[in-house]
Structure 1
Amino acid sequence: MSTPTQTSIVARSALQLRDSGPATVNELTRTLGLSRTSVENAMTALGDAGLIAEATAPSGRGAGRPARRFAFVADAGAVVGVDIGVASIRVAVADLAGVVTAQQTFAGVSAEQDGASKLAAVIAAVHRTLAGADVPVSRVRAIGVALPGIVDDLGRVTASVVIPEWSGIDIGSHIRQAFGCPVAVDNGVRLAAVAEHHLGVAQLVDDVLYLSVGNRIAMGLILGGRPRRGIHNAAGDIGRLAFRGLDSETGQISWRTAPTAAEVFELAREGDTAAAAELDAFVTELAHGIATLVMTVDPAMIVIGGGISAAHGQLLDPLRERLPRHIGLPFTVPIAEARLGAEAAAHGALVHAFRRHAAAVYGIEGVPVPSVTPMPHDPAAEEGTSPEGSDADPRPREERQ
């Protein structure tokens, strides 16, 4: 068994090859400041773990046999991120370097009759995505799951108003049995915040308040660079309390002038005075609730995600104008639109799986989370839902990117 010092050297070598590309033992020795013997031992350990292979040597002018080059084998395994919602199930598959190689969106769990059939739909969605990507289940090293509800540290759903059949159920254990690998489960909005911090608009910002505004209002917190769970795993479950006028049990937004947010925004754009007044009151109340949260945690940035976050002229711009009035202090907290859109929670689930089960993913201890790289943008993929299940994009269709 490796000692902590040896493990650190192995992990540093793996990190260098994973993130910087192929290298020779001499190059690794110089870059990492280690002895040749230490690097050679690390290459042996990484080879035994199946993480490296000999790379093709670049053509050169020198005579003699070129030095052996080693490359990180990213496709030696896969990590899966799943975002479960009533309107959609989103699945993303990444290689061991964190590059997303496949993603699919399926119908949500709302049509399923009970908790067991909802879980079966999720498992089937993962199987279909893996099959479509030609990734055998045996290559999956960890799965991250984002779902709407309060989740304890072991993956048991403490409570969910969105999928009440799962309250008290160890969803993580069921998915682990289905795929035979470690599973990490957390709240979907919290993992959307993780994604925006790790690879989205809030990179390098260590104190972030992420607000999902869709069918419901829900919050995720990043404090000190880490997601805040709280002693009861309920940190951020504050939408129904911090924002007046929402359903007191679910945090659901109710609209008077039209059934959905998209229709209210559309009516307001067309000059409907009642819809414009309702939207104005909503933005004012949203600013008041955010101000309360800002003065509680004092974040460096506010990120607005969810189905209606892209309405700059009708939501974000007036929100930026009104928030300082409610705070009433000589500082400004920047408000940014979430970059990852509806794919945020699935990507946050990937980050969560890499972070929670790094040893299972890499076969060695101490390898940090890779810089997860999304697939190229597909406009069609934006026709889905937010982490809280909202498909209400208020922009005119021709403005959606």
Structure 2
Amino acid sequence: MGRLTGGDPSLLRRINSAVVLRALRRAEDAPTLSGLARETGLSRPTVEGVVEGLTEAGLAAEAAAEPGGAPRLGRPARRFRFRAEAGHLLGIAVGPHRVTAVVADLAGRVLGRAGRFVTEGDTVAVRLEAVHAAVDELLRDASVGRDSLRAAGVGTPGIVGADGTVRLCTALPGWTGLDLGTRLRDALGCPVLVENDANAAVLAEHWRGAAAGAGDVVMVLAGLSPGAGSLIGGRLHRGHGGAAGEIGALHLLGREVTPERLLSTTEEPLHPLDETAVAEVFALAREGDRRAVAAVDRFIQRLVHDVTALVLALDPELVVVGGWAAGLNGVLEPLRRELRLYCLRTPDVVLSRLGEAAVDTGALRLALDHVEERLFAVQGALPAGERGR
């Protein structure tokens, strides 16, 4: 890589543009040119030239004067703002029983959410049609055009490759081998980032949930096929092949009891195995039903073993529990108590703050990260309407 010198004015202009845009975007109010100059350390003429370029690109605009302000002598200083409405982002969560979609502007402000119910046995075509229907409703209700989409993130069960292909998924029929990224990119007309649902959830909790400010975090989604996402030093840990945290596969290592039988209060598997059915089992347990109490004990013990394995391997400062367990009473304290028996150092253990919104919120964060990387890259600000993939 060549040495950065003052002899490349185009490169310096791109650097200055990224610096000013970042300062403009994080400003709580609309700063003046002089204020931006102080914030960035650039000269006022340089800032003025950059802001003009950002305005032409549609990423900045002059802020309107506040009504009712006190009269001042002379011309008031011009103020500018980041145009968060210059583009929009999607976050999509695909699950066994429901798909949801959320739309936000370039500042990450959520403008709406929509969803569709599906079933465990639905085909790929039916599940994707539910995604498209939810997105169509969402964009219509939020008055957002498809040509405004800059990126979409997707959270899905399974092991996801870097190219957006689902390498392995036991929770959704036909999902293994599905090039989900390409399928949705062709339909949405924008870059699509696909990630495992637990990985998306831990990003969401770190962004806007229970893990805000924590650097080393494990997020456990207790569901049909439990999974976990982890942050190490604030960065997502996916593993060499994207399979980190797939604790749902532990039953292959000598565990013969499936989740359907684990939570059953009869001789037959619990079906359908969804949040409503599990909530009924927990409600019966609180009423003292002997079989339900035994089922809940098995559920908690399995959860303890799964979380303990992750805690011993990663030594996180925080464990966030989501999925079914986030909405069920009586899980947290037994989990803490059992972890104190097994772990060398017991981390803080909390329930998810985002609940059912964790996966689509994390998917939205993926899309926002993608756009931010391009907005603030040295290569220059993202031109309005770009459709890079």
1:268-307 alignment to 2 at 5 Å?
268-307=285-324
Post-superposition Cα deviations, 1:117-153, rounded to whole Å, max 9, x if no partner, equal 3223212321221011111111111111111111111
Deviation readout 1:198-241 (Å, 9 max, x if unpaired): 11110111111110113332111111211111111111112231
Q: Please state how far the C-alpha of 1:3 moved relative to its aligned partner.
A: 4.7
Instruction: Check the 8 A contact 1:219/1:237 in 2, yes or no.
Output: yes
By how many angstroms is 1:359 displaced? Answer: 5.3
In structure 1, how many angstroms separate the alpha carbons of the residues matched to 2:379 and 2:352? Answer: 33
Partner of 2:180: 171
Structure 2 gaps of 5+ residues are: 1-7, 271-276, 382-389
Give, as a single letter, the amino acid of the residue that structure 2 aligns with 1:342: E
TM-score of the superposed pair, with normalisation by structure 2? 0.86
- After superposition, the CA RMSD in angstroms is 2.6
CA deviation profile, 1:249-273 (whole Å, cap 9, x unmatched): x866632316332222111111112
SS of residue in 2 equivalent to 1:50: coil
User: Does residue 326 in structure 1 map to residue 333 in structure 2?
Assistant: no
The CA distance in 1 between the partners of 2:328 and 2:133, in whole Å, is 34
User: For residues 9 and 316 of structure 2, what CA distance do their matches in structure 1 show?
Assistant: 41
2:353 to 319, 336, 339: 339
Q: For residue 5 of structure 2, what is the aligned residue in structure 1?
A: none
Aligned residue type for 2:116: F
Partner of 1:94: 104
Shift in CA distance, 63/247, structure 1 to aligned 2, threshold 3 Å = farther
CA distance 1:253–1:363, shift in 2 (3 Å): farther
Give SS of 1:194's match.
Answer: helix
Work out the CA distance in 1 between the residues paired with 2:335 and 2:40: 48
In 2, Cα distance between equivalents of 1:139 and 1:272: 54
| Letter of the structure 1 residue corresponding to residue 193 of structure 2 | A
Displacement of 1:111 in angstroms is 6.1
Bigger Rg, structure 1 or 2 = 2
Would you say the 8 A contact 2:160–2:242 is kept in 1? yes
The total of aligned residue pairs comes to 363
CA distance in 1, matches of 2:168, 2:304: 28
SS at 1:164's partner residue? coil
Tell me: CA distance 1:246–1:106, structure 2 relative to 1, closer, same or farther (3 Å): farther
Contact 1:239 1:251 in 2 (8 A): no
CA deviation after TM superposition for structure 1 residue 334, in Å? 0.6
Query: Residues 100-131 of structure 1, C-alpha deviation per residue, up to 9 Å, x if partnerless?
Result: 0111121236464x323322321232122101
> 3-state DSSP class of the match of 1:166?
coil
| Alignment match, 2:168 | 159
TM-score by length of 1: 0.83
Q: Structure 1, residues 10-33: CA drift from partner, whole Å, max 9, x if none?
A: 223222222222111111111222
Percent of residue pairs bearing the same amino acid type? 38
* Residue from 13, 20, 38 that aligns with 2:20: 13
Q: 1:178 to 1:2 in 2, by over 3 A?
A: farther
Alpha-carbon distance in structure 2 between the residues aligned to 1:199 and 1:339: 8
Query: Aligned partners of 2:186, 2:223: CA distance in 1, in Å?
Result: 33
What's the counterpart of residue 388 of structure 1?
none
Q: Which residues of 2 match residues 41-60 of structure 1 at below 5 A? A: 41-58=49-66, 59-60=69-70
Structure 1: segments with no counterpart, 5+ residues: 368-401
